């Protein structure tokens, strides 16, 4: 009696084995996907086999240690720097969305003051055409809003767009560290790995500190982390390292403030 014919793989058409296709590796037992399978795939992808997420976080907790492991070629056991950054940023901005307070904003709008709204956006002197045009633009777009509603709108747009700004700033941070440590034997890609790791650590610290509403609980640990990471990865004398950290923090913080200002300005005027 002849053996039954093997089924063809639904993915590539090759003769399939009992459980998996020998050519493409797809499961040959076709069935509707289940929620359990999705959960298992998600956990296996992000938490990973052999617990790479926890190994990565443990190494990330020591400033600069994860970068040195990556630069030394020990990469398989850790999460890729870009994936780690994206995961940490998602966690941070989700927490920020929930806990970020809406700032108190007052603007002058005589037309709506009688209806219980807050006061004016800006005052213009006579003959200031540009100022009058901006004022009219603001009144047309937000004249019907109260102060709290206007502040909530701007805050929501900032939270929505700031992750993209930060993603674009990471390569800039790498350029700054390369400029500060121009005499070290690291190329730009290696500085970019350092930047991704530092940002991931900063986002995770921020996610823990955000519910407290105290910015210093985020800024101070992040600054200390950056200083120690720079010293561990790039070396150098203590006072020179402190000066370089001050330069990097000041320059990068200014870029972050400029990015936030640009987002708010574009949100209001465009």
| pLDDT for the residue numbered 117 | 46
| pLDDT for the residue numbered 150 | 74
Please indicate, yes or no, if residue 75 is contained in any of the structural domains. no
**Whether residue 152 is found in the same domain as residue 245:** yes
**Whether residue 100 is found in the same domain as residue 182:** yes
Residues 6+ apart with CB under 8 A from 97: 159
| pLDDT for the residue numbered 205 | 95
Please indicate, yes or no, if residue 55 is contained in any of the structural domains. no
**Whether residue 85 is found in the same domain as residue 28:** no
Dihedral, CA atoms, 242, 243, 245, 249, nearest 10 degrees?
A: 130
Q: What domain range includes position 42? A: 8-46
**Whether residue 145 is found in the same domain as residue 40:** no
pLDDT digits (tens, 9 = 90+) for 59-80: 999 999 999 999 998 888 899 9
Q: Which residues of the chain register pLDDT less than 70?
A: 1-7, 10-11, 13-19, 23, 25-51, 101-129, 143, 146-147
Please indicate, yes or no, if residue 53 is contained in any of the structural domains. no
| pLDDT for the residue numbered 97 | 81
Domains: count for the chain? 2
| pLDDT for the residue numbered 32 | 61
The span from the CA of 82 to the CA of 136, in Å, is 44
**Whether residue 89 is found in the same domain as residue 157:** yes
CA angle 220, 90, 251 (to 5 degrees): 40
**Whether residue 202 is found in the same domain as residue 87:** yes
């Amino acid at each position: 009696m002849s053996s039954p014919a093997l089924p063809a793989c639904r993915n590539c058409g090759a003769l399939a084995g009992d459980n998996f296709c020998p050519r493409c590796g797809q499961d040959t037992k076709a069935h509707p996907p289940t929620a359990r399978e999705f959960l298992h795939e998600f956990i296996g992808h992000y938490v990973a086999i052999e617990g790479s997420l926890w190994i990565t976080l443990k190494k990330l907790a020591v400033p600069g240690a994860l970068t040195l492991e990556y630069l030394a070629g020990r990469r398989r056991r850790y999460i890729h720097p870009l994936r780690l950054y994206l995961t940490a940023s998602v966690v941070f901005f989700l927490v920020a969305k929930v806990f970020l307070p809406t700032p108190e904003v007052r603007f002058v709008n005589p037309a709506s003051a009688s209806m219980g709204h807050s006061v004016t956006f800006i005052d213009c002197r006579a003959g200031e055409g540009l100022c009058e045009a901006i004022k009219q633009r603001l009144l047309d777009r937000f004249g019907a809003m109260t102060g709290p509603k206007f502040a909530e709108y701007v805050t929501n747009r900032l939270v929505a767009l700031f992750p993209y700004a930060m993603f674009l700033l990471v390569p800039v941070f790498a350029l700054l560290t390369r400029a500060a440590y121009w005499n070290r034997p690291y190329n730009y890609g290696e500085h970019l790995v350092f930047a991704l790791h530092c940002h991931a650590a900063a986002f995770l610290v921020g996610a823990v500190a955000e519910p407290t509403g105290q910015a210093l609980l985020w800024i101070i640990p992040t600054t200390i982390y950056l200083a120690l990471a720079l010293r561990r990865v790039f070396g150098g004398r203590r006072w020179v390292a402190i000066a370089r950290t001050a330069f990097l923090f000041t320059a990068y913080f200014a870029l972050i403030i400029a990015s936030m200002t640009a987002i708010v300005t574009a949100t209001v005027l465009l």
